[in-house]
């Protein structure tokens, strides 16, 4: 096989050594194809980086939305709690009931969005713990209100633990 290739290689070598229009055109075409390949590879890398960046931005926005929803649901639960304690009417518990139903879903979404992130995951865990503490305080006061112990429930609110927890939740949300 080597003897069959020898004349071809010799002809190609002669072509490269001889200045001609064909050689110049071949060199330009080779250069253009090489440049085109380099440009295509660069565009491919840029598209990959752009996609990764867009995914990161979208994830960040979803985290922010879920965090805002957690805080809003906690505020809704508090609104229902206070409406019920002020009026004694169960229909005022509707925002609370809605928040109790939706809050675990939002917290789970937030946890899944930040899973594996060494910076965000602990913050979300703290926010989840604070949300649970806040709901425990609200549940306790509502239970007292249902038992007719409105004064005890209002006293529990006045002690300020719920406000302190909400303040910590707001601060944690800002950190996320």
pLDDT in tens, 72-99: 999 999 999 999 999 999 999 999 999 9
**Alpha-carbon torsion (124, 126, 132, 134), positive or negative:** negative
pLDDT given at position 176: 77
- Rounded Cα gap, residues 130 and 55, in angstroms: 29
Q: Full-prediction pTM beyond 0.85?
A: no
- Rounded Cα gap, residues 80 and 76, in angstroms: 6
Q: Do the Cβ atoms of 133 and 162 come closer than 8 Å?
A: no
More confident residue, 143 or 174: 143
- pLDDT above 60: residue 104: yes
Question: What value does the mean pLDDT take over residues 33-46?
Answer: 97
């Amino acid at each position: 096989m080597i003897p069959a290739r020898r004349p071809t290689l010799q002809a190609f070598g002669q072509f490269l050594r001889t200045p001609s229009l064909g050689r110049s055109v071949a060199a330009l075409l080779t250069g253009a194809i090489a440049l085109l390949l380099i440009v295509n590879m660069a565009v491919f890398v840029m598209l990959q980086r752009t996609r990764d960046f867009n995914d990161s931005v979208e994830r960040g926005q979803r985290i922010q939305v879920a965090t805002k929803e957690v805080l809003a649901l906690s505020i809704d639960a508090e609104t229902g709690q206070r409406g019920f304690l002020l009026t004694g009417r169960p229909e005022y518990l509707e925002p609370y009931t809605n928040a109790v139903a939706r809050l675990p879903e939002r917290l789970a979404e937030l946890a899944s969005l930040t899973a594996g992130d060494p910076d965000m995951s602990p913050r979300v865990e703290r926010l989840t713990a604070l949300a649970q503490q806040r709901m425990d305080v609200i549940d306790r006061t509502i239970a007292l209100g249902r038992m007719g112990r409105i004064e005890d429930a209002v006293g529990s609110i006045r002690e300020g633990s719920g406000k302190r927890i909400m303040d910590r939740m707001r601060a944690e949300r800002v950190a996320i």
